[in-house]
């Protein structure tokens, strides 16, 4: 059976996107690297490991062969964690014809270089290919369940963003378009770090006032960094900025928030990561974000404080109280 889009990455989010593509009427093929896992999904018609309550539509195909997965497709959608993004693109480079469009749902700065996914894609695959990024306030389990969801698709080519939005949209899934790739990616990279901070604050019992202060001032830091990198301010008022930030900081289905809550209860970093059992993007992202902020000479005290808790052993309560003692200044600078 022909598939006109390949979704690469059989974690919870890649699986949810594959289900949504099929639900919206677009022939889709889901690729995973783990052959035993793919075989189980093919047999059971569900991703029991990551999305057990979302059965596959009949049209959804499965593959553990990367070359076969992208053969004869029109679009390739990458849905792997940021640490695996470059290596997967390098595997794809000899397999993709110039006409195949590339989009990704990967969030976060590259750890070693501090580059955004679009910069990594351009570096690995070169210029001239149509590319786009998908982001926004979306939990995979809710997309898989068909609950109403909205997200943003950004591309420098408006026609490509519009086509992807139409192909993904259904009565329960609405995609909006943007041409601010950098802004959409910065929102997705920063919010995971701030969500760890929200979990820390709530776990320590600081209350709703503290949580909303962290979200609001965290948004200021997100905008500050994004503008320094060339993004537009208004992007951060939308789904990929404020929307994703609020969702990730306030709902306990967020892995990053759950990680912060576990640390506040006294769990070690390794134990908290093991408890969650899936990639917690905000943990390595805190280190990459700090590197980017220092490089851009952007002040991000909340992100810096979260980094201190995660990597320098600073007590979270001390960090929060220290922020309250910062010099008085205008709210918007």
Q: Which residues are catalytic?
A: 191
Distance CA 83, CA 60 (A): 27
C-alpha to C-alpha distance for 147 and 34, rounded to whole angstroms: 28
Cα(160)–Cα(165) distance, integer angstroms: 8
Which residue from 135, 71, 73, 83 is spatially nearest to 104, judged by alpha carbons?
Answer: 135
- Bridge partner residues of 29 (DSSP): 6, 61
C-beta atoms surrounding 174 within 10 Å:
15
Contacts of 310 (CB under 8 A, 6+ apart): 196, 269, 283, 286, 287
Q: Are 254 and 279 in contact (CB under 8 A)?
A: no
CB neighbours of 115 closer than 8 A, spacing ≥ 6?
Answer: 109, 123
Cβ-based neighbours of 212, under 8 Å, separated by 6 or more: none
Distance CA 269, CA 176 (A): 37
Enclosing H/E stretch for 149 = strand 149-154
Compute the distance between CA of residue 59 and CA of residue 27 in angstroms, rounded to an integer.
7
Token digits of residue 98: 């110039």
Task: Mark out the alpha helices in 204-328 (DSSP H runs).
Answer: 208-228, 244-250, 255-264, 269-276, 282-296, 301-311, 316-324
Q: What is the DSSP string of 271-288?
A: HHHHHH-S--THHHHHHH
């Amino acid at each position: 059976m022909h598939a006109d889009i390949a979704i690469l990455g059989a974690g919870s989010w890649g699986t949810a996107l594959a289900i949504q593509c099929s639900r919206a009427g677009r022939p889709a093929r889901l690729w995973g690297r783990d052959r035993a896992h793919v075989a189980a999904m093919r047999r059971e018609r569900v991703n029991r490991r990551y999305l057990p309550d979302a059965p596959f539509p009949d049209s959804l195909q499965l593959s553990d062969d990367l070359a076969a997965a992208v053969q004869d497709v029109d679009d390739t959608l990458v849905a792997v964690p940021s640490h695996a993004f470059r290596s997967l693109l390098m595997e794809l480079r000899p397999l993709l014809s110039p006409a195949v469009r590339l989009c990704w749902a990967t969030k976060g700065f590259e750890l070693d270089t501090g580059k955004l996914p679009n910069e990594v894609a351009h570096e690995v695959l070169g210029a001239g290919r149509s590319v786009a990024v998908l982001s926004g306030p979306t939990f995979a389990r809710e997309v898989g369940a068909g609950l109403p969801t909205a997200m943003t698709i950004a591309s420098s080519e408006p026609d490509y963003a519009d086509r992807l939005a139409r192909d993904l949209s259904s009565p329960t899934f609405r995609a909006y378009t943007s041409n601010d790739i950098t802004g959409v990616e910065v929102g997705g990279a920063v919010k995971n770090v701030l969500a760890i901070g929200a979990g820390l604050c709530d776990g320590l019992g600081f209350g709703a006032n503290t949580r909303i202060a962290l979200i609001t001032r965290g948004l200021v830091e997100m905008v500050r960094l994004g503008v320094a990198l060339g993004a537009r301010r208004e992007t951060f008022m939308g789904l990929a900025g404020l929307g994703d930030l609020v969702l990730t900081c306030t709902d306990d289905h967020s892995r990053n928030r759950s990680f912060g809550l576990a640390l506040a209860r006294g769990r070690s970093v390794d134990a908290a990561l093991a408890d969650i059992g899936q990639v917690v993007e905000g943990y390595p992202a805190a280190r990459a974000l700090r590197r980017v902020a220092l490089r851009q000479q952007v002040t991000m005290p909340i992100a810096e404080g979260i980094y201190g808790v995660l990597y320098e052993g600073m007590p979270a309560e001390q960090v929060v109280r220290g922020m309250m003692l910062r010099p008085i200044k205008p709210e918007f600078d």
